Structure 1
Amino acid sequence: MKAVIFDLDGTLIDSAPDLHAAVNCMLDDLRRPPLTLERVAGFVGNGVPTLVERCLEATGGLAEDFDRALARFREHYARSPARLTRPYPGVELALERLTLAGLALGVCTNKPQEFAVTILEELRMMPFIRTVVGGDATPKLKPDPAPLLLCLDRLGADGTSALYVGDSEIDAETAFRAKVPFALFSGGYLRESIDAFEPLYVFDHFGDLSDHVLGGGR
């Protein structure tokens, strides 16, 4: 194996608390009721515009000026995208182990590039990541395979020499369409039953993932 590529939200990091805070600031600007953390976490995964759209639909319907609502969310989120966000247990050590073993690591996420890089830098994970493909790096978001294929290309890998790690049905479909083996982190934002798809490997702690990869598992 040459490379391991990770989704970001719900996989490497629990970002829901900061997304939740920005969403409720946006809703307050629009004089709408707040949403719970659990509700917002359930909307994560399809990119920022879809997150905002789902939150608006849950609080009275789409705003007439959707672009303004989206801009307000981005402004609030940009102020502190990593204040409450934390890596999942074992992430830092797993990234270090995989890097020391000579594997190239990448991140492929629907989160906008600027936010993704900022969070990885603030949480001190960027030194382990060779490339980041954000949601605005290609014309289409995951589950379209284009972002993952771009990440593979940047790492000099392909479906026979890489593993994609994610937490959702979106990530599973992306890996399938890009013809890349998929490992599921079960502690993220999965909305469907694991039985709905067939990951190569399922784990609930990142120490198990690094053991699996470095032990020769695929």
Structure 2
Amino acid sequence: MARIVFDLDGTLIDSAPDIHALMNEVLAALGGGEITLAQTREFIGNGVDVFVRRTRTALGLPDAFHAAMVAQFRAGYDDAVSLTTIYPGVVEGLEVLHGAGHRLAICTNKPEAPCRAVLAHLDLARFFDVVIGGDTLAQSKPDPAPLRAALEALGEGPAIFVGDSEVDAATAKAAETPFALFTEGYRKSPVEEIRSDASFDDFARLPDIVNACAVQVIS
């Protein structure tokens, strides 16, 4: 059986509406303007600190705002779940993979506490034996350490990382792990410019991709 590690935001769930609403609450409290949902999707991917920096840059806010924005955003992040949705086919795909005996994990740059909160809210936590958040280790993606930690915790066997972005692709490459790209998430580049071993827009295809990658690794 394979070890399958998933990114979270933009791969399994569309959390951008909650992140967008929370950031605009933070900005309103500071009198700093607003960002759009499209900007939110563009800024997601490298953790809270980078998300805040990208937001400040877009709005021309000073460095002095940074610490307060990060703190206020983190304070509300655990509760930012009401607008988040699961991508179509995800639950069915996870049920097939889990039911087949594959071991599943999360490796995300979202902090671990809000990651676990949204997984519980959406009833997805039951599928995952391991959760590695952006603050679980000292390193975060695209450093390979979080992905390697997730894979090590899952035990032995063929491995694949499933994500939606350039950050995920770089993480998989650094960890020397096959990568499957979900094309409907928060990527910033054309699909053909992102290094992957397979790409898909429908989670019904993922079990076949996992099996193909596992066979390739074993052979």
TM-score between both structures, scaled by the size of structure 1: 0.94
Could you say which residue in structure 1 is the equivalent of 2:217?
Answer: none
Superposed, which structure 2 residues align to 1:97-136 within 5 Å? 97-136=96-135
Note if 1:84 corresponds to 2:83.
Answer: yes
C-alpha deviation, 1:111, in angstroms: 0.4
Identity, in percent, stands at: 43
Q: In the alignment, which residue of structure 1 is the partner of 2:75?
A: 75
Q: Name the CA distance, whole Å, in 2 between partners of 1:62 and 1:88.
A: 36
Q: Does 1:206 align with 2:203?
A: yes
d(CA) in 2 for partners of 1:15, 1:127: 19
Question: Is the contact between residue 32 and residue 61 of structure 2 (CA under 8 Å) also seen in structure 1?
Answer: no
* Partner Cα separation in structure 1 for residue 140 and residue 40 of structure 2: 20
CA RMSD after TM alignment: 1.2
Secondary structure of the structure 2 residue equivalent to 1:151: helix
- Count of paired positions: 213
> In 2, Cα distance between the equivalents of 1:39 and 1:65?
19
* Displacement of 1:95: 0.8
- Structure 1 SS opposite 2:105: strand
2:46 alignment partner AA: N
In structure 2, the partner of 1:189 is: 186
Q: Does the alignment pair 1:170 with 2:167?
A: yes
Return the offset for 1:145.
Answer: 0.2
Aligned to 1:149: 148
Separation (CA, whole Å) in 1 of partners of 2:23 and 2:52 = 7
Q: Which has the higher helix share?
A: 2
Q: What's the counterpart of residue 217 of structure 1? A: 212
Shift of 1:65: 4.0
How far apart are residue 171 of structure 1 and its match?
0.3
Question: In structure 2, what residue type is equivalent to 1:49?
Answer: D
Task: Tell me the amino acid that sits aligned with residue 154 of structure 2.
Answer: L
Cα separation, 2, equivalents of 1:40 and 1:62: 19
Secondary structure of 2:212's counterpart equals: coil
Whole-Å separation in 2 of the counterparts to 1:126 and 1:23 = 25
Distance 1:88 1:47 in 2: 21
What do the CA deviations read for 1:148-173 (whole angstroms, capped 9, x no partner)?
A: 00000100136xx1110000010001
Distance 1:142 1:88 in 2: 22
Q: Unmatched 5+ residue regions in structure 2?
A: 214-219
Task: Assess if the C-alpha contact under 8 Å between 1:110 and 1:134 holds in 2.
Answer: yes
Give the aligned residue type for 1:144. Answer: D
Query: 1 CA distance for matches of 2:8 and 2:185?
Result: 10
After superposing on structure 2, the runs of 4+ consecutive aligned residues of structure 1 that deviate more than 6 Å are: none
Equivalent position of 2:26 in the other structure: 26
